[in-house]
């Protein structure tokens, strides 16, 4: 067992399972039917189910470094398989890409890639580099650049999503909505991109967007 904390967690979960036995039995026997696919960062500080209050069966989830969706045809089977399964076999209505502040994957774009010891990271985060390039060209002051790049990366990955026929066709038909979010580690707030206004707006009852 990795840690006693995890063992304690498993024990608590066994109690939770018994308390919600009907739900778990229903999911086991009737299968899953989530309407939302969440694509988030692997960062341990971004627990998507905790943030959203989701329970078993609510979310189909993909997490990777810097919440990246490689463009169609670039050979990354994992992400494409998730999209195909979610859209061809589940009653999906929404895809949310959720970035976050202080993202190590985005910060790594500021350093020279280590192509020897960390070749997978180096290659992977290149899928986010156009976001950094665009923000650099905007001439923002240094303190604003990270959040701006995190946001821009979310928008970039939404565009990458649309390079998959299965996504683009469903969005065009009006049966699938794409959403871009950023989770702020410092405040717990979530903001969403409003494609109509181009603004990032607070989600939920919070009164102002995260910093
Ligand atoms: Zn991250």
Residue-wise pLDDT tens digits, 140-187: 998 999 999 999 999 999 999 999 999 999 999 999 999 999 999 999
| List of residues 6+ apart from 149 with CB closer than 8 A | 106, 109, 131, 132, 135
Domains of the chain: 1-31 (no CATH), 34-202 (3.40.1050.10)
pLDDT of residue 210: 45
Q: Is the pTM of this model over 0.85?
A: yes
Catalytic sites, residue numbers: 41, 43, 45, 100, 103
For 69-94, how does the pLDDT look when each residue is reduced to its tens digit (9 = 90+)?
A: 999 999 889 999 999 999 999 999 99
How far does residue 27's CA lie from ligand 1's centre (Å)? 30
Give distance in angstroms: CA of 67 to centre of ligand 1.
Answer: 7
Q: Which phi and psi (to 5°) does residue 96 adopt?
A: -110, 125
Percent of the chain with pLDDT over 90: 92
Distance CA 17, CA 5 (A): 18
- Assign 211 a pLDDT band (cuts: 50, 70, 90): very low
């Amino acid at each position: 067992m990795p840690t006693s904390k995890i063992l304690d967690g498993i024990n608590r979960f066994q109690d939770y399972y018994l308390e919600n036995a009907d739900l778990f039995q229903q999911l086991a026997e009737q299968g899953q039917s989530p309407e939302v696919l969440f694509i988030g960062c692997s960062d341990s500080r971004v627990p998507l189910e905790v943030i959203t209050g989701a329970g078993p069966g609510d979310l189909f989830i993909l997490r990777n470094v810097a919440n990246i969706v490689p463009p169609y045809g670039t050979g990354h089977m994992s992400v494409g398989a998730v999209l195909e399964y979610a859209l061809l076999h589940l009653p999906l209505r929404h895809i949310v890409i959720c970035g976050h502040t202080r993202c190590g994957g985005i910060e790594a774009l500021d350093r020279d890639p280590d192509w020897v010891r960390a070749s997978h990271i180096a290659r992977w985060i290149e899928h986010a580099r156009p976001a950094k390039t665009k923000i650099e060209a905007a001439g923002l002051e240094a303190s604003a650049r990270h959040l701006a790049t995190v946001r821009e990366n979310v928008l970039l990955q939404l565009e990458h999503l649309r390079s998959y026929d299965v996504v683009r066709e469903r969005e065009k038909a009006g049966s699938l909505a794409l959403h871009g979010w950023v989770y702020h580690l410092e405040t717990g707030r979530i903001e969403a991109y409003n494609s109509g206004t181009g603004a990032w707006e607070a989600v939920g009852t919070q009164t102002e967007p995260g910093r």
